[in-house]
Chain A
C-alpha cells in the first residue's frame, strides 16, 4: 500500500548484507510464492495476454487480434466517458478526502476532552463494508423531498437545494464521491494522526517562544514534517479512486445512463454482461498501466518533497 515506503525498503534490501547469523532455508518462502503465483502472478500475466485476443470467455477458443481491442477502446464513447469519470472521481477523492482527513486529524490531535470519542466516531465507517455504506447513503440520497438529506435541507430552510442526488446525471458522480469521502476520511485522519505524533513538541514550543502564530507553525513545522503521511495518503486514495467499483455498483450501477460508469464497472460489464472477455481485459490492462504510471510519478514527486525538507 505504501508505495514510497516500498521503494525505500527495496533500496535497503539491496544494500543490507546479511547481519551475521544462520540463513533460513529457502523453502520457508515456497508456500507464499506458490499461492501468490497462482492467485496473482499467473492471472495477471494471462490477463495482459488476453487483452490482445478476441476471447469470449466461453471455452478456450481465442484468436490473436493485435491491438484491435485498444483501437476499439479509443472509439468507445462509453469507455471514454468512464475514463473521464474515473479521473474526475479520483481527483475529487484525493483532494477532498485528504483535506478533510487532515483537518480532522489536526482537530483531534489537540487537548479537547472528546478527542478519543471523536476519533472513534470519524474512524468507525472505515471498518464497515463499502457495500453497506453505499446502501446507507442511498437512504440519505432518497429523491423524495421529505426523506433523508432533502428533508434535512428543508428542515433548516434550505429546501431550494433539494436534489435527486443519484438520479441527476450531472450530480450522481459527485454524490458517489461524497459517500466514498465520508467513509474514508477517517482513514486519512488516522494516517495524519500517526504523522502528527512524530512531530516533536519542542519544535512547536520554541517556535511559540519566538512568537510564531498557529498558521506560521503549521506552515513551517507541521506541514513539512507531515510529508511522509501526505505521500501515503495521496497514494492510497489515488489507487482507491482509480479502481473504485463496489460503491458504484451498489449505489448507481453506473447510471443514470453511463453517468457514473468507471473503468472498473465498464470492464466488469464487458466481461460478465456482454461476454467480451478479451475487450474487458484490454480495459483492465489500460487501468493497470494507468495505476502504475500515476503511482510511480507520484512516488517520484512526493518523495523528492520528503527529502528536500
Chain B
C-alpha cells in the first residue's frame, strides 16, 4: 500500500475530524487563560494577553494537592492488592479442574455482568457498620472487590495459555507452592500484569460515584470528588473552573502520554479476551 492521492484525501479528512473533535478542549484551555473581562468580551477568541492567575487560585481553592495524594494512595494500594489476590486465585482456577474451581470461576464471571447498583445500598450500610466510611481502607477494600472479577478473568485466560512445566521443576527442587508462584509463575505473567495494572488504575483513578458516597466530607476525597465540589462552588467563575479541570486532568493525561503505547495495547488485549 503506497501513499497515493486518495491517502492524502483521507489524511485531510481525518485531520479535519480531529480538529472538530478537539473543539471542547479548545474551549476549556482558552477559558482557563482568560480573565473575566476577556471571557465576557470574546468568549471564543484566543486569550490575549493570556493570564495564568486562574491556575494558582484553582489549585489552592480545589485542594488538589491533597486530593492527588489521596487518589494516588487509594489507586496504588488497590491495584497492588488486585494483582496479588487476582493472580493467585487465577493460578488456582486455571490449573485445577475440579467442580470447586469451575464453580468459583463462574461465580467470579457473574460479577462482571452484575451492575454494582444492586449491591450499592447494602454495601454502603456494611461499610458504615464496619466503621470504614470516610477511610482509605474502605475504598481500597471496595475497589479490590469490585475489580476482582475482571482481573481474575484476564489472569485466568492468560495462565491457561502458559505451559505447566515451569512450576513442576521448581516444586521438585523443594520450593513451597508460594515460592514457586512468586519466583517462577508471577514473572511469566508480566504482559497480562501490565494490562491488569493499566485497566484497573484508570478505572479506579477516574471513579467518581463511590468516593463521593464513601468519602464525601471526610477530608480524604479523591480528585474527581474534590473537583465536583469545587465546580459546584465556583459555578459562575468560568476561568477558575476551567483551570481547575485542566489541573485535575493533567496527571492522568501526562501518564497516558508517557505510557500511551501500553495503555492502548492494554485496553485492546484486555478486552479482546
Contacts and interface: CB of A to CB of B under 8 A. Distances in A.
Interface of A: 1-6, 8-10, 12-14, 16-26, 28-29, 31-33, 35-36, 38-44, 46-48, 50, 57, 104, 107-108, 110-114, 118-124, 126-132, 135-137, 139-140, 144, 146-149, 151-152, 155, 182, 187, 190-191, 193-195, 228-229, 232, 236, 239, 242-243, 245-246, 249-250, 264, 267, 271-272, 277, 280-281, 284-285, 287-288, 291-292, 295
A239 B104 CA distance: 23
Contact of A280 (B100, B121, B270): B121
B231 interface: yes
Contacts of B31: 139
Contacts of B3: 111, 113
A28 to B, nearest CB: 4
8 contacts: A5-B272, A20-B165, A32-B108, A39-B123, A146-B44, A194-B269, A245-B117, A291-B113
B271 A236 contact: yes
B212 to A, nearest CB: 9
Contact of B91 (A24, A139, A229): A24
Contacts of A122: 18, 21
Contacts of A243: 115-117
Contact of A43 (B126, B156, B253): B126
Contacts of A19: 163-164
A139 B271 contact: no
Interface residues of B, number: 111
Given A135-B231, A136-B28, A12 B160 contact: yes
A82 B70 CA distance: 34
A114 to B, nearest CB: 6
Interface string B82-112: 0011101101110111001110111111011
Given A24-B181, A264-B117, 19 more contacts: A2-B272, A6-B113, A6-B273, A24-B91, A29-B104, A32-B86, A35-B144, A36-B108, A40-B146, A41-B111, A46-B119, A47-B118, A107-B10, A111-B1, A118-B14, A121-B21, A129-B249, A136-B245, A284-B115
B224 interface: yes
Contacts of A285: 118
Nearest to B163: A19
Nearest to B166: A21
Given A42-B126, A146-B43, A132 B249 contact: yes
Contacts of B107: 36, 41
A190 B108 CA distance: 26
Contact of A284 (B92, B117, B224, B252): B117
A262 to B, nearest CB: 11
Interface stretch (B47-55, B188-196, B202-210): B202-210
A136 B156 CA distance: 39
Contacts of B21: 121-122, 182
Interface of B: 1-3, 7, 10-11, 13-15, 17-18, 21-25, 27-28, 31, 43-44, 81, 84-86, 88-89, 91-93, 95-97, 100-102, 104-109, 111-123, 125-126, 141-142, 144-146, 148-150, 152-153, 156-157, 160, 163-165, 167-168, 171, 177, 181, 202, 205-209, 213, 223-224, 227-228, 231, 238, 241-242, 245, 248-249, 252-253, 255-257, 260, 263-264, 267-273
B168 A277 contact: no
A164 B83 CA distance: 46
A151 B43 contact: yes
A281 B118 contact: yes
A48 B118 contact: yes
Residue of B93, B118, B231 ringed by the most chain A CB atoms within 10 A: B118
Contacts of A35: 81, 85, 141, 144-145, 148
Contacts of A292: 113-114
A229 to B, nearest CB: 8
A124 B255 CA distance: 11
A6 B241 contact: no
B109 A120 contact: no
